[in-house]
Structure 1
């Protein structure tokens, strides 16, 4: 695990493999459309399609990473879980990087993308890898600076997973959830410029105040549409009730969630979702606590090459 983190912090792009459970290995590969040759890229896409083929009862997906287009895959980060002995792919998450702006500054938002798990291995504790590990790696590599994430779904279990994993999530049934100007600004940009990332067509509507996409299954994600009964429910009833009340499943609505990975979310993720038997996870949580209390403010203050809050980079301040 130490070697994994050293590589994550030093490589310009990620292509890392680690064991996340007995008999299973996870590969995280960033921007495969840029770094893989034609044969390697085709093999990776085929692995994703294999998992999708076993997950979907019928139909096929044609948007995003399933298209096989280098342009799409150049903006993606793939987290692929396979059986160690056979190499058979059993689950994946396809994240996308979306360049946006916030308060006049560039902001890279990580879209959680599509998660698929082979029905044979559901319920085996893969969610901590698929929904948090890669974002945590990006967060650490980015100097522990808060990182915005987005998620589009109609599945109550996924809505709840995002709310439990990240900070300041909206929309959410959790107490204290509110739509800030940052939430609204980022959501508007996503719906204006990045619908193709999650397979939503131009004819889909958007309820800004509730951050709900209406008639969402018309842009390549058609075969993902579910009824409320078909969608996987969350163990906490409030997330099921929230989706039942807010979404029109007959029409095909989705929520567009926005939240942040920050130190509080990272600590909660390591202590609450990583298996308790995982010593590296507990050590990592301790390290985050130490950084938060003692080292992080000093590090941000001394780094004059990047903006942080009201502080400006030295070069930006000296320009006429």
Structure 2
């Protein structure tokens, strides 16, 4: 992975492009509904639909990023992987959910929908699609812990999220469900079902964090049988999903956890290939530049105005 380019340090939202190996390009676009032109947004939607068409055997998706709705894209972070010739092969649509909590609202990063062209599934893209964007947002957030959520029935994804992030509930042998987990889950199920395509008729079990009959709100074509759901290498996660979820009815598990320093350490040491670590850290440095470094430089320069900061006396004509 070589040379990430932060397209504009002055842009309010993140737009980062970096290489993944010799043949693939990764682009992370934060809230494109705010800054992309109509032409750019339509092209992005077309790329996402192209990948979905290769992934789904039949049917189509009608919710979230596939709707071509600018308003939906205002609260979405897209990680798009293409080949060097521009052919789209994988994406992750990470949604930002703002929950009304006390003493102030909290943003939760919903890991959202991940799709990979079947011909590219052995290409080692999981660390890019599931962790890279969260890592960069954590750095950009000045290393403050970030809440994440995940709704899935796939054992491989349940295991990946459980191993990558901190304080995950539920998972096999989880220590306990905290009050924060419960309150945030209630708010997600109360006002954010549209983000992951779960209908209002789906019932939520607050004890097990299982959503019963989850595939009735636009995500119908994502429903999988037990045999079709990709399994995790650790049988504990497969046994957990088999015991907790009814695949005939179409159940999902809602996982909640955090991206924190411990999660970052695990991500960099376990998930990111050793050949890519330097590139990832280099990208993080560019992302941190605007939020962490530039304000310090501006503050140190007493000769120029920056926002409400005024030049020191005697330097006002500089």
In 2, Cα distance between the equivalents of 1:24 and 1:74? 26
Contact 2:5–2:16 (8 Å) recurs in 1: no
Equivalent residue for 1:13? 13
Residue correspondences, number: 284
2:34 aligns to what?
Answer: 34
CA-to-partner distance for each residue in 1:146-187, whole Å, 9 max, x for gaps? Answer: 0000000000000011001100001101x3432101110110
Deviation at 1:104, TM superposition (A): 2.4
RMSD: 2.0
TM-score, length-normalised on structure 1?
0.85
Q: Determine the C-alpha separation between the residues in 1 that align with 2:17 and 2:276.
A: 17
Change (3 A) 1:3 1:124: closer
Q: Per-residue deviation at 1:2? A: 9.3
- What's the counterpart of residue 266 of structure 1? 264
Unaligned 5+ residue runs, structure 1? 288-320
Task: Give the match for residue 78 of structure 2.
Answer: 78
| C-alpha distance 265-7 of structure 1, shift in aligned 2 (>3 A) | farther
Q: Runs of 5+ in structure 2 lacking a partner?
A: 286-318
Alpha-carbon deviations, 1:177-212, whole Å to 9, x = none? Answer: 321011101100000000000000110000011111
Task: With a CA cutoff of 8 Å and minimum separation of 6, indicate the structure with the bigger relative contact order.
Answer: 2
> Match for residue 200 of structure 2?
202
How many angstroms does 1:105 deviate by?
A: 1.8
Give the direction of change, closer, same or farther, for the CA distance of 1:10–1:186 in structure 2 (3 Å limit).
farther
Distance (whole Å) between structure 2 residues aligned to residue 168 and residue 183 of structure 1: 9
Alignment of 1:74-153 (within 5 A): 74-84=74-84, 86-153=85-152
CA drift of 1:11 comes to 4.2
Q: Distance in 1 between matches of 2:11 and 2:125?
A: 26
Q: Which residue of 1 aligns with 2:288?
A: none
Q: Does the 8 A contact of 2:2 with 2:279 survive in 1?
A: no
- Map 1:240-251 onto structure 2 (within 5 A): 240-251=238-249
Aligned pairs for 1:160-309 (under 5 A) are: 160-173=159-172, 175-280=173-278
Task: Please list every run of at least 4 consecutive aligned residues from structure 1 whose deviation after the TM superposition is greater than 4 angstroms.
Answer: 5-11, 281-284
Separation in structure 2 between the aligned mates of residue 255 and residue 12 of structure 1, nearest angstrom: 34
Query: Is the contact made by 2:90 and 2:116 (CA closer than 8 Å) also made in structure 1?
Result: yes
Query: In the TM superposition, what is the alpha-carbon distance from 1:103 to its structure 2 partner?
Result: 3.6
TM, length-normalised to structure 2: 0.85
